[in-house]
Amino acid sequence: MTIRKPIEINPTMKVDGSGENAMPFKEMKAVILEVTDLETKYGSSIKAVVENAEEDMKFSVFLNNFSIERLCEAYGEDDTVWIGKVVEIKKEIDPIYKAEMIVLCPVVEESEEDEE
């Protein structure tokens, strides 16, 4: 017997908030709950499910290379270590394409800095 559960579908934060099941960008702090690989019509992508408890919001954010680079520098390459970490969700300008992008920036607590 195989146990099956419905998949939880969260809104996805996007810079402009356009598209189905999308929410507009809002700068905030959030906790990473999950990191998954997925196939989209544009190819493979990495998505993080995050939660902002203060505003009772749970949503997804696609991780671009800038976010992955910062998360790896702060927490290492094993994305299971990223679970439970606090990040600041910011909007930045891509230096190559000059387009706005969402970036997850690690919020390193003092106790984590002491471990380094």
Q: What are the helix (H) ranges across the chain?
A: 65-75, 110-115
pLDDT of residue 114: 55
Average pLDDT, the chain: 91
pLDDT of residue 7: 83
Give the mean pLDDT of 60-75: 96
Write out pLDDT tens, residues 1-12: 889 988 888 999
Amino acid of residue 91 = K
pLDDT: is 112 or 11 the higher one? 11
- Given a cut of 90, whether residue 116 has pLDDT beyond it is no
pLDDT: is 113 or 54 the higher one? 54
Residue-range domains of the chain with CATH: 25-109 (2.40.50)
Nearest to 45, CA basis, from 68, 27, 26: 68
Q: pTM for the full model?
A: 0.86
The two tokens of residue 56 are 């009772």
DSSP string, 28-41: EEEEEEEEEEEEET
User: CB–CB of 89/81 below 8 Å?
Assistant: no
- Given a cut of 80, whether residue 54 has pLDDT beyond it is yes
Sheet holding 28-40, edge to edge: 22-24, 12-14, 57-62, 43-52, 28-40, 86-93, 100-106
